[in-house]
């Protein structure tokens, strides 16, 4: 980190501590491979030291499975002595945690080698490498996420989640009721605190809508002209939602498919691209006639099978797919069509953009964004045509062809020459090793259904 930048960041710390003299602690946060936030908590008096020298955390932080255990086959654990790397603050991420009883702030970090260069296995760095290819072309990416989640009861039933009782009516919601305002009113205090907390933290959350299942909601983030920052906001929003819900004696889940027979949780991303003059290169009165838009979509669709492990990184992720739940299962595109993988929303010519609708809310936002942008860049530079847009129900016109399980998705990623041009093969090896380890553990477990079917019948 250069001396001028360090001075600017120290000014940021000084201004913050002066504005919030009541702050006692600061949480130093970094998102791991699964998008799980980890880090350290320090006293306010140590904040200047963090800005000046960073903090040490082991490289194995990016080789953790979903349970927080190091996957040794990544080579980032005992093979390197579980050695440390250094983490530096990310500018403009120091903010208050509004849910804390003891005044506490938070600060996002990113990992570097001890010599200073970014650490290859930090998902934020994985994304930065892809974004740099657009920088070289003089293009700026605008992006925004839509994040779905369930409010759930803090008490489960035999290990299974259940909807929380409404603070207003005392009843548990039982029906879909998509877009129903009354359901927003049932949980209004919690949902409003989420929006107000986001505003306090500088997260551009501008709307909450009722989604397609009992106690399921979606938070819309406003677009920003920085895809890395958009991912920072998504990571921080998940943490905010969880903690605000705790304050209201509820829990949350971003699990891709928490309930059989109900909609899963998605993470849609909207992307547009600006040229050097600030013009949207996708802008068009007739999107089909815009070559840049078509080529971007063509690249995304061509690379979609290889992206699936990043978009749907867990065993549970693949339970979310199904026509009745508006989760696309083939490389398809359309204009204002929610049955396809890549939707082009209608509106003014200047607002034409790509909406990528495949990923689950369990995806790491940085890896999701890196995957989609890799596809867009591949399409733009190779002028890949996507074929005609789908009109009507895509599920009736296209057979499922995307990987429908984690093992196949990992194979597609591991074998993809295109993805290896955008995402460091060393990182792909680390990611695949972690997910294969989780998959092996899952496949070695015996489910209740297996006992019910086979214990006394075969």
Q: What are 42-99's pLDDT values in tens digits?
A: 999 999 999 999 999 999 999 999 999 999 999 999 999 999 999 999 999 999 999 9
Q: What is the mean pLDDT of residues 212-217?
A: 88
Residue 43's φ and ψ, nearest 5 degrees, are -80, 155
* d(C-alpha 231, C-alpha 224), whole Å: 10
Residue 168's pLDDT is 85
Q: Are residues 76 and 62 in contact, defined by beta-carbon separation less than 8 angstroms?
A: yes
* d(C-alpha 345, C-alpha 357), whole Å: 12
Quote the tokens at residue 182: 């009354």
Q: What is the mean pLDDT of residues 175-187?
A: 72
Evaluate if residue 153 carries a pLDDT over 50: yes
Residue 3's pLDDT is 45
CATH of 132-423, one of 3.20.20.80, 3.40.605.10, 3.30.590.10, 2.40.10.220: 3.30.590.10
Residue 243's pLDDT is 98
Residue 169's pLDDT is 85
Q: What is the mean pLDDT of residues 354-368?
A: 98
pLDDT tens digits, residue range 428-458? 999 999 999 999 999 999 999 999 999 999 9
Domain range annotation of the chain: 6-121, 132-423
Evaluate if residue 1 carries a pLDDT over 70: no
* d(C-alpha 1, C-alpha 117), whole Å: 9
Which one, of 66, 127, 118, lies nearest residue 434 by Cα? 66
What is the pLDDT confidence band of residue 183, given thresholds at 50, 70 and 90? confident
Residue 388's pLDDT is 95
Evaluate if residue 284 carries a pLDDT over 50: yes
Q: What is the mean pLDDT of residues 240-254?
A: 97
Contacts of 68 (CB under 8 A, 6+ apart): 36, 38
* d(C-alpha 141, C-alpha 389), whole Å: 24
Residue 11's pLDDT is 87
- Which of 151-162 are b and which e, b meaning 16 or more Cβ less than 10 Å from the residue's Cβ? bbbeeeeeeebe
Evaluate if residue 171 carries a pLDDT over 90: no
What is the pLDDT confidence band of residue 177, given thresholds at 50, 70 and 90? low
Measure CA of the first residue to CA of the last residue in the chain; give whole Å: 65
Average pLDDT, the chain: 94
* d(C-alpha 388, C-alpha 284), whole Å: 17
Q: What is the mean pLDDT of residues 152-159?
A: 90
Residue 136's pLDDT is 97
Q: Are strands 216-221 and 104-112 parallel, antiparallel or unpaired?
A: unpaired
Report the range of poorest mean pLDDT among 227-236, 319-328, 385-394, 432-441: 319-328
Evaluate if residue 174 carries a pLDDT over 80: no
Evaluate if residue 324 carries a pLDDT over 90: no
Evaluate if residue 161 carries a pLDDT over 50: yes
Evaluate if residue 374 carries a pLDDT over 70: yes
Question: Which residues partner with 135 through β-bridges?
Answer: none
* d(C-alpha 448, C-alpha 458), whole Å: 16
- In SS3 terms, the chain reads as CCHHHHHHHHHHHHHHHHHCCCCCEEEEEEECCCCCEEEEEEEHHHHHHHHHHCEEEEHHHHHECCCCCECHHHCCCHHHCCCEEEEEECCCCCEECCCCCCCEEEEEEEEECCCCCECCCCHHHHHHHHHHHHHHCCCEEEEEEEEEEEEECCCCECCECCCCCCCCCCCCCCCCCCCCHHHHHHCHHHHHHHHHHHHHHCCCEEEEEECCCCCEEEEEECCECCHHHHHHHHHHHHHHHHHHHHHCCCEEECCCCCCCCCCCCEEEEEEEEECCCCCECCCCCCHHHCHHHHHHHHHHHHHHHHHHHHHCCCHHHHHHCEHHHCECCCCCEEECCCCCCEEECCCCHHHCCEEECCCECCCCHHHHHHHHHHHHHHHHHHCCCCCCCCCCCHHHHCCCCCCCCHHHHHHHHHHCHHHHHHCCHHHHHHHHHHHHHHHHHHHCCCCHHHHHHHCCCC
Residue 325's pLDDT is 76
Residue 444 Cα distances to 146, 295, 441, angstroms: 35, 43, 5
Instruction: Please state, for a pLDDT cut of 70, what percent of the chain lies above it.
Output: 97
Q: Does domain 6-121 have CATH number 3.10.20.70?
A: yes
Residue 145 Cα distances to 65, 237, 346, 361, 369, angstroms: 25, 10, 17, 10, 10
What is the pLDDT confidence band of residue 213, given thresholds at 50, 70 and 90? confident
């Amino acid at each position: 980190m250069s001396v001028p930048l360090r001075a600017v960041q120290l000014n940021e710390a000084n201004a913050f501590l002066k504005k919030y003299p009541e702050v006692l602690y600061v949480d130093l946060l970094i998102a791991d491979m699964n998008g799980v936030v980890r880090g350290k908590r320090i006293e306010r008096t140590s904040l200047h030291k963090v800005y000046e020298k960073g903090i040490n955390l082991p490289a194995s932080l990016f080789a953790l499975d979903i349970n927080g255990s190091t996957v040794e086959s990544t080579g980032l654990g005992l093979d390197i002595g579980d050695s440390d790397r250094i983490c530096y603050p990310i500018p403009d991420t120091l903010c208050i945690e509004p849910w804390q009883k003891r005044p506490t702030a938070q600060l996002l970090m990113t990992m570097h080698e001890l010599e200073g260069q970014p650490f290859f296995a930090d998902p934020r760095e994985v994304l930065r490498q892809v974004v740099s290819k657009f920088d070289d072309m003089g293009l700026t990416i605008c992006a925004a996420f839509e994040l779905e989640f369930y409010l759930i009861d803090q008490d489960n039933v035999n290990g299974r989640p259940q909807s929380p009782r409404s603070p207003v009516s005392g009843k548990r919601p039982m029906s879909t009721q998509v877009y129903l305002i009354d359901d927003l009113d049932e949980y209004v205090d919690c949902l409003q605190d989420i929006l107000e907390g986001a505003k306090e933290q500088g997260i551009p959350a501008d709307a909450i809508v009722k989604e397609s299942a009992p106690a399921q909601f979606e938070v819309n983030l406003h677009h920003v002209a920085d895809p890395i920052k958009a991912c920072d906001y998504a990571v921080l929003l998940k943490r905010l939602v969880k903690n605000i819900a705790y304050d209201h004696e509820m829990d949350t889940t971003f699990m891709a498919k928490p309930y059989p027979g109900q909609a899963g949780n998605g993470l849609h991303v909207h992307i547009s691209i600006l040229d050097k003059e600030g013009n949207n290169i996708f802008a068009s009165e007739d999107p089909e006639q815009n070559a840049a838009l078509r080529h971007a979509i063509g690249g995304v669709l061509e690379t979609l099978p290889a992206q699936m492990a990043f978009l749907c990184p867990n065993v549970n992720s693949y339970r979310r797919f199904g026509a009745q739940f508006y989760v696309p299962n083939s490389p398809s595109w359309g204009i204002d069509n929610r049955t396809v993988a890549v939707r082009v929303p209608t509106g003014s010519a200047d607002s034409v953009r790509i909406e990528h609708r495949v990923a689950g809310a369990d995806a790491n936002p940085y890896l999701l964004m890196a995957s989609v942008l890799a596809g867009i860049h591949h399409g733009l530079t190779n002028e890949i045509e996507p074929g005609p847009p789908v009109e009507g129900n895509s599920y009736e016109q296209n057979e499922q062809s995307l990987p429908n399980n984690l093992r196949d998705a990992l194979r597609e990623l591991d074998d993809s020459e295109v993805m290896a041009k955008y995402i460091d093969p060393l990182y792909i090896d680390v990611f695949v090793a972690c997910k294969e380890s989780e998959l092996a553990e899952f496949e070695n477990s015996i489910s209740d259904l297996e006992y019910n079917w086979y214990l006394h019948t075969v």
